[in-house]
């Protein structure tokens, strides 16, 4: 006769197994919660997060440039200088005004839009920065004065500052040239490389229709540093003019730059580095003869570059 197990014993064993399972599950859940809260407490109290992590002060240079761009755009939209100061303080840059001026000059070299240039210039001006580029693109508004400044998207024009009371200053005292780094005419085709560099004079210049004429064109032997196309732009009296745009073009491209960024040389000075085997042409965007066939040469102990002097045509003045 086969002895059958007692059903009561079987049920009792199952109850004990269920109780043990729930006991272990409860202990695991409690331990998990304790671990989570313990980790949070350690993170907040024992090993708090370094507040500098993620700050603009530790950004890579390219991201800091993007940050300055966003601050300048925000300031132009809201006019909230206090908010801009708070954001700029996060950069922890002791030479911040100079940094912003360098960023403005980079915008000019890269041909950024007139709006971007104007906003970055305003930010530099608000920081009390100084520099040739700032003088050109961010006129200072003195207390009690209103400044009528031409939009940068237009042709370079002088602007008079009107003092409170309606008395206009002289043009020599208050003319502030404004210029656009973007709106330029389409370059004309470049002549063959074997063409001799020469001044291009047409009937328009003879009739006084072009604002500037080419008065000098010299080859310059450079023994230190790269050979360049050096451009001097002068008024009718021979005084250097800042803010004049120059267009240099060649078979595969073109570049543009403005006078006045190297005032230690001359207010009307600007330069362009040449490459071997390339024929360049140069002209003033505001109107001048086009000088073609500018090529890199060689001289004793160095390289031959070019020096061009454009002077305002005073016909009709």
CATH code for the domain in which residue 282 is found: 2.60.40
Instruction: Tell whether 207 and 263 lie within a shared domain.
Output: yes
Look at residue 96 and tell me if it is in a domain.
yes
pLDDT of residue 186: 37
The structural domain count of the chain equals 2
Q: Using DSSP bridges, classify how beta strands 161-163 and 145-147 pair: parallel, antiparallel or unpaired.
A: antiparallel
Look at residue 179 and tell me if it is in a domain.
no
Look at residue 24 and tell me if it is in a domain.
no
Tell me which residue of 192, 276, 289 sits closest to 231, measured CA to CA: 289
Query: 10 Å Cβ neighbour count for 109?
Result: 14
Instruction: Tell whether 228 and 267 lie within a shared domain.
Output: yes
Q: Helix or strand or coil: residue 256?
A: strand
Instruction: Tell whether 146 and 217 lie within a shared domain.
Output: no
Q: How far is CA 117 from CA 88, 132, 138, 287, in A?
A: 18, 14, 9, 23
Instruction: Tell whether 169 and 228 lie within a shared domain.
Output: no
Model's pTM, two decimal places? Answer: 0.47
pLDDT of residue 5: 61
Instruction: Tell whether 233 and 294 lie within a shared domain.
Output: yes
| CB distance 282 to 291 below 8 Å | yes
Q: pLDDT tens digits for the chain (317 residues)?
A: 555 666 677 777 777 777 777 677 777 788 888 888 888 887 777 766 665 556 888 888 898 999 999 999 999 889 899 999 999 999 999 999 989 988 888 888 777 877 888 889 889 889 988 776 776 776 544 333 333 333 333 334 333 333 334 444 433 444 444 444 433 333 334 344 344 444 444 444 444 579 999 999 999 999 988 899 999 999 999 999 988 999 999 998 999 888 988 888 998 999 999 999 999 999 999 999 999 999 999 998 899 999 999 999 875 44
Look at residue 68 and tell me if it is in a domain.
yes
Q: How far is CA 47 from CA 40, 133, 280, in A?
A: 10, 47, 62
- Domain limits for position 168: 56-174
pLDDT of residue 278: 94
Q: Position of tokens 């085997």?
A: 277
Instruction: Tell whether 154 and 209 lie within a shared domain.
Output: no
Look at residue 37 and tell me if it is in a domain.
no
Angle between helices 96-110 and 114-126 (to 10 degrees): 170
Look at residue 282 and tell me if it is in a domain.
yes
Tell me which residue of 222, 228, 312 sits closest to 268, measured CA to CA: 312
Query: 10 Å Cβ neighbour count for 64?
Result: 17
Look at residue 281 and tell me if it is in a domain.
yes
Q: Position of tokens 């940068």?
A: 152
pLDDT of residue 113: 79
Instruction: Tell whether 165 and 220 lie within a shared domain.
Output: no
Instruction: Name the DSSP class of 189.
Output: P
Instruction: Tell whether 208 and 282 lie within a shared domain.
Output: yes
Angle between helices 81-89 and 61-78 (to 10 degrees): 170
Instruction: Tell whether 168 and 240 lie within a shared domain.
Output: no
Instruction: Tell whether 245 and 167 lie within a shared domain.
Output: no
Instruction: Tell whether 164 and 85 lie within a shared domain.
Output: yes
Look at residue 10 and tell me if it is in a domain.
no
Tell me which residue of 219, 232, 239, 225 sits closest to 288, measured CA to CA: 232
pLDDT of residue 218: 94
pLDDT of residue 2: 58
pLDDT of residue 163: 39
Q: 100 is written with which tokens?
A: 């912003």
Q: 53 is written with which tokens?
A: 């992590």
Instruction: Tell whether 241 and 157 lie within a shared domain.
Output: no
């Amino acid at each position: 006769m086969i002895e059958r197990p007692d059903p009561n014993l079987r049920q009792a064993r199952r109850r004990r197994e269920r109780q043990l399972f729930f006991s272990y599950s409860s202990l695991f859940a409690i331990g998990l919660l304790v671990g989570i809260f313990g980790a949070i407490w350690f993170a907040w109290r024992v090993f708090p997060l370094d507040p500098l992590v993620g700050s603009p002060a530790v950004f890579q240079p390219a991201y800091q440039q993007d940050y300055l761009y966003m601050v300048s755009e925000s300031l132009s939209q809201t006019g909230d200088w206090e908010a801009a100061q708070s954001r700029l303080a996060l950069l922890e840059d002791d030479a911040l005004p100079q940094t912003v001026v360098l960023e403005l000059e980079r915008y000019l070299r890269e041909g950024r839009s007139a709006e971007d240039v104007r906003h970055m210039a305003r930010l530099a001006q608000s920081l009390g920065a100084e520099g040739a580029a700032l003088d050109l693109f961010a006129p200072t508004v003195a207390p009690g004065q209103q400044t009528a400044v031409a939009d940068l998207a237009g042709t370079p024009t002088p602007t008079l500052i009107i003092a409170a009371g309606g008395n206009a200053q002289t043009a020599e005292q208050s003319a502030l040239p404004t210029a656009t780094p973007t709106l330029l005419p389409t370059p004309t085709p470049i002549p063959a490389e074997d063409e001799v560099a020469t001044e291009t004079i047409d009937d328009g210049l003879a009739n006084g229709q072009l604002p500037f004429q080419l008065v000098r064109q010299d080859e310059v032997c450079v023994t230190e540093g790269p050979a360049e196309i050096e451009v001097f732009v002068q008024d009718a009296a021979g005084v250097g003019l800042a803010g004049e745009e120059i267009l240099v073009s060649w078979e595969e491209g073109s570049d543009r730059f403005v006078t006045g960024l190297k005032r230690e040389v001359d207010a009307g000075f600007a330069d362009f580095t040449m490459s071997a085997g390339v024929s360049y042409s140069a002209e003033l965007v505001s109107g001048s003869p086009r000088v073609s066939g500018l090529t890199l040469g060689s001289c004793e102990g160095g390289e031959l570059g070019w020096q061009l002097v454009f002077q305002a045509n005073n016909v009709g003045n």
